[in-house]
Amino acid sequence: MRTPRNDTEALDPQRTCILSRDTDSRAGLIRLALSPDGAVLPDVRAKAPGRGAWIGVTRAELEAAQAKGKLKGALARAFKGAPLAIPDDLGAQIAAALERSALDRLGLEAKAGHLIIGNERIAGEARSGKLHLLLHASDASADGAGKLAQAWRVGSDREGSDLKGLALPVTRTTLSVALGRENVVHAGLTDAQAARRVSEALSRWLHFIGPAPAPEPCASAAQGASAPDTNTDPGRGRCHEDFE
């Protein structure tokens, strides 16, 4: 008879970061794959065929390892000596792929009816105890974010706590495009499972890009997920979807 621990691992298999050797679930790590021409590219959805390599380090740590040659050695071992080429902008490509994946997840939840926008609607759902995750564009005002956070605390019976929304490292323009709406400054998730899925995608992205050099208008904490304030404009690069 299998133990509960084995059951958990079967449902959420663990992988090992090739650089830090730390282990985590697939959802917490980033998979790298080889394109047909041997280029190492991000496979953030873990769907590319063939052998993969997993990383859980930040962009700064990845680029430091790349500069020192440690990344090349780790990838050579992971891909069993297969010919490979590491793009100089691999870190930027990963950041762009993670941003795209996180924003795509928000778009999917919006289409499924799990995401709401508009200050009044978000505040109403928050006070009713139906809000599970609160998000703000990086250029949202501190006053507006603070009022929604207070409504969330009231509805969650957590007045006096530090419960507040998560400031995303994208502006309202980018967030609006991702959601197919106009002038999206704040967004809320009203479904617990949807909030979990979004939190996982955001946590992986925000962990990789690391903290911003300057503070954002909104604090970066969310119910069920916590991530540092970040603000980055990574360059767009290739990812495994481009060569599938």
What architecture does CATH give domain 4-88?
A: 2-Layer Sandwich (3.30)
In whole angstroms, what is the distance from residue 34 CA to residue 19 CA? 17
Q: Please state the pTM of the whole predicted model.
A: 0.82
CATH class of the structural domain 95-226: alpha beta
pLDDT at 20 over 80: yes
Question: Would you kindly state where each structural domain of the chain is located, as residue ranges?
Answer: 4-88, 95-226
Q: Which two tokens stand for residue 234?
A: 């990574």
In whole angstroms, what is the distance from residue 159 CA to residue 151 CA? 9
**DSSP structure class, residue 239:** -
pLDDT of residue 46: 95
Tell me which amino acid residue 158 is.
Answer: R
Percentage above 70 pLDDT, the chain: 82
pLDDT of residue 10: 54
Residues 6+ apart with CB under 8 A from 213: none
Is the separation of the CB atoms in 13 and 5 below 8 Å?
A: no
